[in-house]
Amino acid sequence: MTRIDAARWIRGGFWAAGVGILAEHCSLVGAFHHQKWRASLPVETHRASMRVMRTILVFLGVSMLAGCGGANEAKPVAQAATKPIDTRDFFGEARGCFSMRELGNGETFEMGGDECGERSLPASTFKIPNAIIALDTGVLKDEKTILKWDGKKRWNDNWNRDHALPTAMWHSVVPFFQEIATQVGAERYRTYLSAFHYGNADPSGDVTLFWLENGRLSISPREQVSFLASMYEGKLRVSTRAVDLVKATLELRGEAKEHVRDRLPFVDRIAENVVLSGKTGSAMPDSGEIGPLDVVGWFVGAVERDGRRWVFACRLRSGDGKKIGTEAARIAYEILKSRGMV
- Which comes out higher in pLDDT, residue 59 or 174? 174
Q: Find the angle CA(323)-CA(325)-CA(330) to the nearest 5 degrees.
A: 100
pLDDT bin (cut points 50, 70, 90) of residue 60 is: very low
pLDDT single digits (tens) 121-167: 999 999 999 999 999 999 999 999 999 999 999 999 999 999 999 99
pLDDT single digits (tens) 276-297: 999 999 998 765 556 666 889 9
Q: Contact, 128 vs 284, CB < 8 A?
A: no
Q: Decide if pLDDT at 79 tops 60.
A: no
Residue 218 pLDDT:
97
Name the residue ranges covered by the structural domains of the chain. Answer: 3-74, 88-338
Query: Which residues are the active-site residues?
Result: 124
Q: Contact, 296 vs 247, CB < 8 A?
A: no
Burial class (CB in 10 A: 0-12, 13-18, 19+), 80: exposed
Tell me the residue ranges of DSSP E strands in 54-105: 95-102
Three-class SS state of 75:
coil
Mean pLDDT for 243-264 is: 98
Tell me the residue ranges of DSSP E strands in the chain: 95-102, 108-111, 274-283, 295-305, 308-318
Concatenate the DSSP letters of all residues of 219-285 into one string.
Answer: B-HHHHHHHHHHHHTT-S-S-HHHHHHHHHHHB-STHHHHHHTTT-GGGGGS-TTEEEEEEEEEE--
Comparing CA positions, the residue from 82, 75, 17, 120 lying closest to residue 328 is 120
Taking domain 88-338, whether its CATH number is 3.40.710.10 is answered by yes
State how far the Cα of 45 lies from the Cα of 333, in Å rounded to an integer. 67
Residue 294 pLDDT:
81
Q: Decide if pLDDT at 53 tops 50.
A: no
pLDDT bin (cut points 50, 70, 90) of residue 87 is: confident
Q: Decide if pLDDT at 300 tops 90.
A: yes
pTM score of the predicted model: 0.76
